Amino acid sequence: MGGAPASPARDPSQGVLSVPSNPEGKLGLACRAEREMRPKAMPPFLLKSPSLEVPCSRALPKGLWPGQVIVLRGLVLPEPKDFTLSLRDQAARVPVMLRASFADRTLAWISPWGCKKLISAPFLFYPRRFFEVLLLCQEGGLKLALNGQGLGATSVHQRVLEQLRELRVSGSVQLYCVHH
């Protein structure tokens, strides 16, 4: 009856850890606590939603303010060329643009006058792989994270951030989530 608790085993067909139950059929306390912390109902995962077709635009009616986070999740297409996330103001100018180039494997901020500021970090976009882009608005700029890895920031005046009215995504990606 006592015996050692069952250890987690890797299920090679699923690539995840499975935790066998103990002889009494109950999960260990750590697993039960983890299970209780999960949301009760997850929203459905919509594939190829018409509202997420690329190019994709989202209104930013009140601009951006410190503490606001933009989240993009998607899949890089099999033969990608580029990926662009741009933030536009009321006059359709683009004061903030993030561009990933698959040809030269670079990620860069592009200024309104066309100057490219390379982001010195590993290129984390791969064909047929999922990605997550997070942009955190803070006083005086935006912080960027890709796939959970912080990649730095760009300076943008607060007044410019407040005047942004549109988020636009284009390029060789399929989007699954755009949230702001």
Q: Are 171 and 72 in contact (CB under 8 A)?
A: no
Confidence of residue 115 (pLDDT cuts 50, 70, 90): confident
Q: Pick the residue with more confidence: 38 or 127?
A: 127
**Neighbour count for residue 103 (Cβ, 10 Å):** 8
Tell me what pLDDT residue 34 has: 42
Q: What angle do CA 28, 31, 37 make, to 5 degrees?
A: 140
Chain length of the chain? 180
pLDDT tens-digit series, residues 38-64: 444 444 454 567 889 999 999 999 999
Task: Please give the CATH architecture assigned to the domain spanning 50-179.
Answer: Sandwich (2.60)
Domain ranges of the chain: 50-179
pLDDT tens-digit series, residues 73-110: 999 999 999 999 999 998 888 999 999 999 999 999 99
Q: Pick the residue with more confidence: 176 or 26?
A: 176
pLDDT tens-digit series, residues 161-172: 999 999 999 999
Closest CA to 72 of 89, 61, 56, 93: 56
Tell me what pLDDT residue 153 has: 93
